[in-house]
Structure 1
Amino acid sequence: GQGFDSNGDGVVDNPILSQIANDTTPPTSSILPAGGAYPSAVSLTINCSDNIAPSQMVYTTNGSAPTFNPINGIIRNPPSARFTVGAEGNGTYFVRYFCRDLAGNLENAHSETYVIDSNVPSVTASLASVYVSNNGGAINSSQLTWSSSVGGTYSVRSGGTNCTDGVELSNGSATAGTPNTATNFTASALSVGNTTIRVCVTNPNNGFTGSYALTITRDDTPPTVGANPTSGSYITFFSVSLTCNDAGG
């Protein structure tokens, strides 16, 4: 069969050429972050993957259809392409992209729309501690501090992937540039492991929503300490090395 003899024994042991020749499965691609409204230029990443071997990806930022032949758009090699939209200022930017593999299979083109508007709330947030524990003597709670560049209404959400899902923990009015410290997370109220926290602020003048996501981790597993050498009877002085290990952080 088609392939490579990588060890020189006369037998094909790398059948990649045969696999490519018989490949009829198109590649898949995705873009992060997704389209939406943003307060300033956005850095985007297109990822391309294939069951055998991805070849190239092509994208446009002016809404035109990307093509390989004739070339229309920017061509990049996999696995990812990074670029920025919105550096020119406020406006609507249309990104279209798709990927092909080494067998020549093409996927259907994708499209995303990015609205850059300086009136979209720019939200920043931080936690006093990104780790909490329900054990005595540990950090049992963490305060969330956040602020928005634009006033409006806000919600703090737990879990989910955007500002419309997950569990709403609190809501109210946000004042531009004023730190909000009203939300405190206790370990007992969190599940063990990672929880996504999202702060969402909506500008009432245009309906644009800005958000900021971070992760808090509940870790109830204590660390362990090991000594080398271990305890015992020794005839002379020596150095002891202590090692601390922790799975959670």
Structure 2
Amino acid sequence: MRVRRLSRRAGLGGAGLLVTTVALAVPAWAFLSVSSSGATAAARVATLGTPGVATSGVGPTSVTFTVSAPATGPTPTGYRVARTAPSAVAGVCTVSGASGSCTDAAPAAGQTNTYAVYAVLAGSAWESPVPATTSVAVPNGDTTPPVTTASQSPLPNAAGWSSSDVVVTLSASDASGVAGTWYTTDGSTPTTSSTRYTGPFTVSSSATVRYFSKDTAGNTEAFRSLAVQIDRTTPTVVVTSPAGSSVQGGTVTVSGTAADTGSGVASVVVQCRAGSGAWTTIGSTTPSGSSWSTSWPTAGLADGSYSLQAVATDAAGNTTTSATVPVTLRNTFTVTAPSTATAGTPFTVTLSTYPGYSGTHPVTVSGLRSSPNGSAPTLPTSATFTNGTATLSVTPVSSGSQTVGVSLSGAPLSNTSATAGNATVVAGAPTIATLGWASVAGGKNATCSATSCAVTLGTGQGNNSASATITAYDTYGNVAPSTATVTVTMTNLSTNATSTSSYVLAGGTAAWATTETGSGNVSKRYVISFGTVQSIPLTVTR
């Protein structure tokens, strides 16, 4: 350094001015590094150039700046880095020296950060008037997309169906905040141009709700969907069997059809009731296609009038009740027989139950008597039902009023026995007539039977009379209600003399009388001519 002293004296009081010039071995602009006045500061600032800056290591929590000296002007002794956007921070980091690096440890993540880099001279409060500027897109630390859930009210049933309007609520959550949620209800893929979710919305018919959310970090969630199933339409159901007003019994198959255009038929419940009583469930079934059927065991139910109906329920819970079907239950059997019959002629006894029954079972027929001559009626031992009816061939042998009863074994019916009304059996065609001796007048020691009479008369007795009833009988010994003419031929066994008399029967009988005359022992035979010839002897002893 050189110093020159200059002396200048003035003429006023010997006063003078001493000027000392200092020469420094530094550039002239160095003298501007110390602020001495507004003019010199402005000149100094104007000489600072714009530094060079490069960024690296950009991340959610850091941005590194590498600063180099300006191409012109004085060399800075340091640098100040300020953030100007999105939020202003005067000094995020500083660099010491003509060049170097520093790091912003708290950038605004997920946004574009703008920085200004100022050159600084040591000991000066002034910085370069024109900073270097740079902008970097700082990624967000949140790389996880938001999660959106969907719910509906009311909740669907177990099958996933509703039968009324549904309110859908979308709820999104994210660590960095949800920017928005978008959705569609027609099944199409939603975009940020789709309907933006602002609150619960109503769905009135079946739809697929597709939706997604985006967070403030720019993460976009994968598309999600919610199937809303709504069925307001009731199903249809019809009972097709058994036929209305039919007679049923045993195990009855109840069947029909059911259909639903929405959610489909889930179940069919079949019900019955006796008369106007309460409905009770007899079975529940799931249709196969449109057809359904169930069994109705009726053996334990009383005979009478019943009704059937079916209740169909679809998957959404809508129900429909079919029209009722009236039926008559008959789980007992009845016996019918003709009111009149003829001995020796078969007649038909009919057993009846519900039309669908068939089978063969042992039977016992009762109520028919044996004939007067000891013949037994002809009775069956089994009955074969076809479509609910069995016929028995029965041959009576005894006349008179009789009640036919039938006991049935092994049939799945409510009763095991039944009776018909009284049947009046009349005798068959008369085949024989007899004399039934009624009395022998004046006789002593008379011994008579239905076919003969022996009389012992006392000493001195002469004529004697005897009376009898002529009776017609059928083959089984039943009195035949005949009106035929009967011929009686009397033969004196001592003289072989004969005499013939005719008698007209009234209701199968006629009165007959004879008088025996003379003395001594008399033995005569009386022959009845009526179909089969009968000899009835009358012996009189004196």
Scaled by the length of structure 2, what TM-score is found?
Answer: 0.19
Scaled by the length of structure 1, what TM-score is found?
Answer: 0.39
Tell me which of the two structures has the higher relative contact order, counting C-alpha pairs closer than 8 angstroms and 6 or more residues apart: 1
CA radius of gyration, larger in: 2
- Specify which structure has the higher proportion of strand: 2
